[in-house]
Amino acid sequence: MAKRAAPEVNAGSMADIAFLLLIFFLVTTTIETDAGINRKLPPMEDENVQPPVIKKKNIFTVLLNGKDELLVEDERMELKDLRQAAIDFLDNGGDGSCDYCKGAKDSESSDNPDKAIISLKNERETTYKTYIAVQNELVAAYNVLRDRRATDLYGITFAEMEANYDDVNWPGNKTKLKEQIEKIKLEYPQKLSEVQ
Amino acid sequence: MAKFNKKKSGDMPAISTASLPDIVFMLLFFFMVATVMRQNTLMVENNLPFADQVEKLDKKDLVMYIYAGKPSENYAKQYGSSAKIQLNDKFADVSEIAAFIAAERASKREELVPFLTTALKVDSDANMGLVSDIKKELRKVNALKINYTTKKGSVVEQ
């Protein structure tokens, strides 16, 4: 018996099999990137601690009722106007101590961004969608002001600065950048309080 | 001269498809690696709200997920249609959140515990009562870093 070479296996259908698997993975893939609004909850407060006294003009009250209607500083408001109203309030600089504010310097509104507090109150019936929309607008107000300040001081927006800070390949000086970020955060601190 | 004439003889050779499997395998491996299989089977409707001031949630292993919303169709008969909380793979009561957080913390290395974030994936039609209850429970167990997970999109025109 002569030795025969084993016949070669036909690999022509390999591509088909690979395609089948490929299509399976293509269909099942959900390239999920979770993104959202980061918040920090206040710790449980002590019963004994007296809440600090805050002047009424330094509080920007936002009320959301069960029908998803918005009441800002005792006036009804549409969601699209909320951002500008919050910016006007935060950037007011009523007592003149804030030399970077460009607001109206109205003595009836907030003293300076450090003292200005936004207070958000919602009811149990408020839908989550509206609540997030309002949160989003208020966070946006802070971001707009921080971006403006960062552009004035360093020529790039605050968002870019934070992106640079997180970017491993960014060539600049990170400690200095961190200081700059902290400085801006200090000038426009996010003071958003939620009534429980 | 016959040597040189040979080349001119007619037909285009067929393009070899031998490397096609390689190319397809390459794509296949890419998708296999990039695929993230869902950890939890969703039992609630989870139509996230829109927001545009979002920050990315990286370090997936340091995130605890709390889902909330109406039970999805398959479960609606059994559990009714009011919004419920889902922890891991089952419906849970608000009071079970504390235990859930404790279990999640215990499963992580000790030095990472302060960096744990709670991602709230809540359906956009849920009401704030439920969310407030969740937040209150989280405050009780001192899990203060939260993230309202949203889709990226504009808020105002909806």
Order of strands, sheet of A70-72, starting from the edge strand that comes earlier in the sequence? A75-77, A70-72, A59-64, A117-122, A192-194
Q: What is the pLDDT of residue A31?
A: 65
Contact A44 B140 (CB under 8 A): yes
| Chain A residues near residue B94 by CB distance under 8 angstroms | none
What's residue A49's pLDDT?
Answer: 76
Distance from the Cα of residue B10 to its chain's centroid? 57
Share of chain A above pLDDT 90, in %: 0
Determine the residue of chain B that is closest to A124 in CA distance: B129
> How far away is chain A from the Cα of B85, in angstroms, using its nearest Cα?
14
Average pLDDT over residues B68-94: 84
Find which of B128, B132, B133, B139 to mutate to test the A interface (most A CBs within 10 Å of its CB): B128
Among all residues of chain A, which has the CA nearest to that of B35? A29
Angle between helices B128-140 and B97-106 (to 10 degrees): 50
Task: Give the gap in angstroms from C-alpha B105 to the nearest C-alpha of chain A.
Answer: 18
**What does the pLDDT read at residue B4?**
59
| Range A154-174 burial, b when 16+ CB lie within 10 A, else e | beebbeebbebeeeeeeeeee
Is pLDDT at B103 greater than 80 in this prediction? yes
At residue B28, the pLDDT reads 84
- Torsion from C-alpha of A41, A121, A106, A156, nearest 10 degrees: 40
Q: Does B158 have pLDDT greater than 70?
A: no
Choose the closest CB to A80 out of B140, B148, B156: B156
Cβ of B21 and A32 within 8 Å? no
If you average pLDDT over every residue of chain A, what do you get?
A: 83
A61, β-bridge pairs: A119
Interval A168-191: pLDDT, tens: 888 888 888 888 888 888 888 888
- A183, two tokens: 């400085």
Is B129 within 8 Å of A125 when comparing Cβ atoms? yes
Helix B20-34 and helix A14-28, axial crossing angle in degrees, nearest 10: 20
Best mutation target among A16, A122, A136 (most B Cβ atoms within 10 Å) is A136
pLDDT score of B3: 57
The partner residue sitting opposite A28, judged by closest CB among B35, B53, B146, is B35
Average pLDDT over residues B7-26: 77
Provide the pLDDT for residue B49: 86
Asked if residue B95 has pLDDT above 60, the reply is yes
